[in-house]
Amino acid sequence: MTDERLVEDYHSFTEARRRFADPIVFWDETLRDGEQTPGVHFSPEEKLRIAEVLADIGVPLIDAGIPVVSAEEARAVHLLAHAGLKSKVLASARTVPADVEAVIQSGASHIAIFVAASQVHLRYKLKMSQEEVREVSIASVRRAKSAGLHVAFVTEDTVRAPFDFVERLYRDVQEAGADRLVISDTVGIMTPLTFRWYLEEFQRRVHPKDLSVHCHNDFGLATANTLTALEVGVTAPHTCVNGLGERAGNAAFEEVALGLERLYGIRTGLRTERMYELSRLVEELSGVVVQPNKAIVGYNSFSHEAGIHTHGILAHTLTYEPMQPEVVGRRRRMILGKHSGKAAVVEKLKERGIVAPDPQLTELLQRLKAQGEARSKEELRAFLEEYRQLFEQPGVSDAEFWKMVEAIGLTEVRA
C-alpha cells in the first residue's frame, strides 16, 4: 500500500477546489500592517532585508508602507521600489491628494488607495458623507491611474458597511480605473460561512475584474476566512508573516500558503522550504516572539513528547504530522520529559549506539519523568513577567512621552 492511500483526502471531493484563481497573487502586508503591530518598527534597511527574502520565496506583491507617514517611511518605500526586487512594490495611500502624490513620487509601481466605508467610521472618524467618500475615492483612483500606477482600491470595515453603498462605491471606482478591488474584514468579525455568502454576493453585484481580501484575526478566523475567500475565486490574499498586525494580527502568510499547498493541492510557486527562515527573521527584527504552538513556524509545531505520539511518529510520520517538517525548512524534535515513553528513550539512546536492557530502560524512564516534574518554574516565571511588561507598554513609554512634552514647553493647565 502506498503512503497516499494511508489517509483519505476529502478536500479533493469538494466543488470549491475548482474555483481557485490561477494564479493566486500573495499580497504581503508584513512591512505595512505588520509594522502597525504595537511596538514594532522596521528601519528602511530592515524592510529591505525582509523584502529580499519574501521576493526570493516568490511573493509577487509587497506593500512597503505609507510614504506620507514620515521621511523615513518614504525612504523605505523608495529603497524597496529601486532595489531591483523580483516582487512588485506597492505603497499605500489614503484618499488624500498628498498621500497619492507621495506614492507617485516613491517609484512604487502599485498603489493601494484606502478609505473607510462603514457608518461608524464615516460618522466618528472621517466625519464625511457617503457621497464625499465616493468623490474623493474616484478622484484618487483617477490621479493614480493617470500616473501609470496599478491601482488597488480598499475600503476599511467593508463587511460592516451598508451593502448598497459598498456596491455603488466599488462599481464607480472600478469604472474610474481601479485594477483590483479589496474587501476588508477590519475587525475580524466574519465567519467562513458568512464571508462566503458576502463575497459571492459582492461578485454577483459588482463583477470585479480582480478581487482581494484583507482579513484580521480578532476571533482567530483570519486564515480560515482567507482560505474561504480563495475557494470562491478571490485572486489576491493579504497576509503577514507570523500573523503580525494590528491587535490580534492578520492572516498568517505561512498558514495560508501551506493551507493551499498541503490541504488543497494548489501549487503556489512559493519556496515553502524557506518559511521558517523568514519567520525567524521577522521575529528577530520585529521583536515579537512567535508563540511556541503557532501553526507551521511555532517552535513546537514539529515537536513530540507524549509517549503515544512519539511511538506513532517513529512508526510512521503521517500518524501525528500532516506534512514533513522539511517542507517548511523545519526539523522534527523528540522532547524528553514527563510524558515520554520507552520508544523515545530507545530512539535517543541510538544516538550513541546504546542498547538498554528492559530493567535499565524502565529505570531510566522513571528518572526522566521525575526530573521533568521536579524542574523549577522560577526561571520561566521571571521570563514571562519580563515579556508581559514589554508588551503592556510597547512603543514610547509614559515617562518618555511626558519628557517630550516638557522639552517643548507644554505645561499642565490647572483648574
Q: What are the structural domains, with CATH classification, of the chain?
A: 17-286 (3.20.20.70), 303-374 (no CATH), 378-407 (no CATH)
State the average pLDDT over residues 277-293: 95
Reduced to 3 states (helix: H, G, I; strand: E, B; else coil), residue 31 is coil
Question: Which residue bears the cell 507617514?
Answer: 69
Residues 6+ positions from 405 with CB-CB distance below 8 Å: none
What is the rounded distance in angstroms from the CA atom of residue 412 to the CA atom of residue 194?
A: 50
State the average pLDDT over residues 58-79: 98
251: closest CA among 274, 218, 276, 280?
218
More confident residue, 366 or 373: 366
CA Rg value for the chain: 25
Question: Which residue bears the cell 504530522?
Answer: 321
The total of other beta-carbon atoms located within 10 Å of residue 292's CB is 10
CB 178 within 8 A of CB 153: yes
Place 359 in a pLDDT band, splitting at 50, 70 and 90: confident
* Helical packing angle, 71-81 and 97-106, nearest 10°: 40
Q: Name the grid cell of 397.
A: 513609554
CB 288 within 8 A of CB 244: yes
Q: Residues of the chain with pLDDT > 70: what percent?
A: 95
Q: Name the grid cell of 336.
A: 524528553
- Omega of the bond leading into 44 within 30 degrees of 0 (cis): no
State the average pLDDT over residues 341-367: 84
Quick one: which H or E segment has residue 333? strand 333-334
Residue 1: the pLDDT is: 43
- Omega of the bond leading into 394 within 30 degrees of 0 (cis): no
Place 306 in a pLDDT band, splitting at 50, 70 and 90: low
Q: Judge whether residue 378 has pLDDT over 50.
A: yes
Residue 199: the pLDDT is: 98
Q: Judge whether residue 192 has pLDDT over 90.
A: yes
Q: Which of 76-80, 229-233, 388-392 has the lowest mean pLDDT?
A: 388-392
Q: Judge whether residue 4 has pLDDT over 60.
A: no
| pLDDT one-digit tens code per residue, 105-148 | 999 999 999 999 999 999 999 999 999 999 999 999 999 999 99
C-alpha separations of 58 from 26, 54, 77, 148, 272 in Å: 9, 6, 19, 24, 9
What is the rounded distance in angstroms from the CA atom of residue 164 to the CA atom of residue 95?
A: 21
More confident residue, 3 or 53: 53
Q: Judge whether residue 72 has pLDDT over 70.
A: yes
Q: Name the grid cell of 240.
A: 503577514
What is the rounded distance in angstroms from the CA atom of residue 162 to the CA atom of residue 118?
A: 7
Q: Judge whether residue 332 has pLDDT over 90.
A: no
Q: Which of 335-339, 356-360, 378-382 has the lowest mean pLDDT?
A: 335-339
State the average pLDDT over residues 276-291: 96
Residues 6+ positions from 380 with CB-CB distance below 8 Å: none
What is the rounded distance in angstroms from the CA atom of residue 413 to the CA atom of residue 411?
A: 6
State the average pLDDT over residues 286-312: 84
Q: Judge whether residue 35 has pLDDT over 70.
A: yes
327: closest CA among 274, 403, 384?
274
